[in-house]
């Protein structure tokens, strides 16, 4: 934050984002600027529209209004697949792993778009197949090591303990080499120990990859522990936005969460 100058462009610049489902304005006039390297929290009561915002950022929903700029590039209305290539990766509120595939293959699917060989090489295992597969194996193992999952490499993803499944999902997302990582309630369903471990993991990948992270979370300990800035959402509108400590003390925010 030391050298934050006015000319520094935010990595993610969202302005006036809105979406309507039928008569319901689920998200209204949402705006957000995240600087490169920041860890940003998105919080709010259930049904506030947090996941809807994630779904718009990742192309699952098309916003009715608004512009999403990633690194200065307009990605509004891009399809999910394109958005991953643009540089946004995500995890899901309810874990979505490739259940029947080995742990290492989950990461290798994430590496898919950085390593190439032809379909003929796939079918006949010719030419570049061996070399590229070896490179993919090595790269995938690197990720598993960072997330401390290497001993599970041949486990079926579905057989991992819950906390490790969360980690694997993050590892898979990181394998796609994103500029921005979206975490949707990463601590949901975790016990305090697992949450602690998760916070360490998040800090670690920030250090290692210098990645920018936007996360949705209900666990206030986690949010106040690692997020520099937060946006509080209520009924699809921004309630408060700013430095975490200040925002969380705001009476309006407390009211939205706990009631009067």
Partner 1 sequence: MKKKTLSKSTWTYIVVILVWAVVMILQQAGALSSHLQGLLVPATYYAIVAVGLNICVGILGELSLGHAGFMCVGAFSSSLFSIAMQNTLPVGIRFPLAMLIGIAVAALFGFLIGIPVLRLNGDYLAIVTLAFGEIIKNILNALYLGVDSKGLHASFTSQMDLGLEADGTMLINGPMGISGTPRDANFTIAIVILLIALFVAQNLVNSRDGRAIMSIRDNRIAAESVGINITHYKMLGFVVSAAIAGAAGVLFSHSISTLQAGSQYFGYNVSILILVYVVLGGIGNISGSVLAAAVLYLLPELLRALSSYRMLIYSIVLIAVMLFNWAPAARNWRTKVAARLTKTFGRKERA
CB-nearer residue toward partner 1: 67 or 121: 121
173 is a contact residue toward partner 1 (CB under 8 A): yes
Least separation in angstroms between residue 129's CB and partner 1 is 7
138 is a contact residue toward partner 1 (CB under 8 A): no
CB-nearer residue toward partner 1: 79 or 255: 79
Q: Tokens 């742990």 belong to which residue? A: 103
For residues 18 and 64, is the Cβ–Cβ distance under 8 A?
Answer: yes
CB-nearer residue toward partner 1: 170 or 239: 170
For residues 39 and 226, is the Cβ–Cβ distance under 8 A?
Answer: yes
Q: How far apart are CA 141 and CA 5, in angstroms?
A: 39
137 is a contact residue toward partner 1 (CB under 8 A): yes
Q: How far apart are CA 87 and CA 143, in angstroms?
A: 18
* Contacting residue, 90, 166, 167, 229, with partner 1 by CB under 8 A: 90
Contact pattern from residue 194 through residue 233 relative to partner 1, giving x for each residue in contact according to CB under 8 A and a dash for the rest = ----------------------------------------
Quick one: which H or E segment has residue 162?
helix 162-175
**Stretch touching partner 1 by CB under 8 A, among 27-35, 101-109, 143-151, 238-246:** 101-109
| Subset of residues 20 to 79 that bind partner 1, contact rule: CB under 8 A | 58, 60
Q: How far is CA 79 from CA 5, 49, 55, 61, 236, in A?
A: 33, 20, 11, 9, 23
Q: Which two tokens stand for residue 201?
A: 């993991």
101 is a contact residue toward partner 1 (CB under 8 A): yes
Least separation in angstroms between residue 166's CB and partner 1 is 13
Q: How far apart are CA 107 and CA 231, in angstroms?
A: 31
**Stretch touching partner 1 by CB under 8 A, among 4-12, 31-39, 148-156, 226-234:** 148-156
Instruction: Give buried/exposed letters for 108-142 (b at 16+ CB in 10 A, else e).
Output: bebbeeeeebeeebeeeeeeebeeeeeebeebbee
3-state SS assignment for residue 176: coil
CB-nearer residue toward partner 1: 48 or 136: 136
Residues found near partner 1 in the complex (CB under 8 A): 58, 60, 80-81, 84-85, 89-90, 92, 96-102, 105, 108-110, 112-113, 115-117, 119, 121-125, 129, 132-134, 136-137, 154-156, 159, 172-173, 175-176
């Amino acid at each position: 934050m030391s050298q934050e100058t006015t000319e520094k462009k935010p990595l993610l610049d969202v302005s006036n984002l809105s979406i309507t489902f039928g008569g319901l304005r689920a998200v209204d006039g949402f705006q957000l600027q995240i600087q490169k390297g920041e860890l940003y929290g998105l919080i709010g009561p259930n049904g506030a529209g947090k996941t809807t915002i994630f779904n718009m950022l990742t192309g699952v929903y098309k916003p009715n209004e608004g512009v999403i700029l990633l690194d200065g590039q307009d990605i509004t209305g891009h399809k999910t697949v394109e958005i991953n290539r643009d540089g946004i990766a995500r995890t899901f509120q309810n874990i979505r792993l490739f259940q029947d595939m080995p742990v290492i293959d989950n990461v290798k699917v994430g590496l898919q778009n950085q390593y190439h060989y032809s379909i003929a090489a796939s079918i006949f295992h010719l030419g570049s197949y061996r070399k590229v597969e070896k490179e993919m194996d090595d790269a995938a193992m690197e990720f598993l090591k960072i997330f401390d999952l290497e001993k599970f490499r041949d486990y079926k993803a579905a057989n991992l303990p819950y906390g490790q499944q969360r980690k694997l999902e993050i590892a898979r997302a990181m394998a796609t080499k994103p500029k921005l990582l979206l975490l949707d309630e990463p601590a949901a369903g975790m016990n305090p120990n697992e949450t602690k471990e998760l916070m360490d993991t998040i800090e670690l990948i920030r250090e290692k990859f210098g990645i920018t992270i936007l996360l949705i979370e209900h666990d206030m300990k986690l949010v106040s522990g690692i997020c520099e800035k937060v946006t509080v959402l209520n009924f699809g509108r921004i309630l408060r936005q700013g430095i975490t400590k200040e925002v969380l003390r705001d009476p309006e925010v407390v009211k939205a969460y706990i009631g009067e």
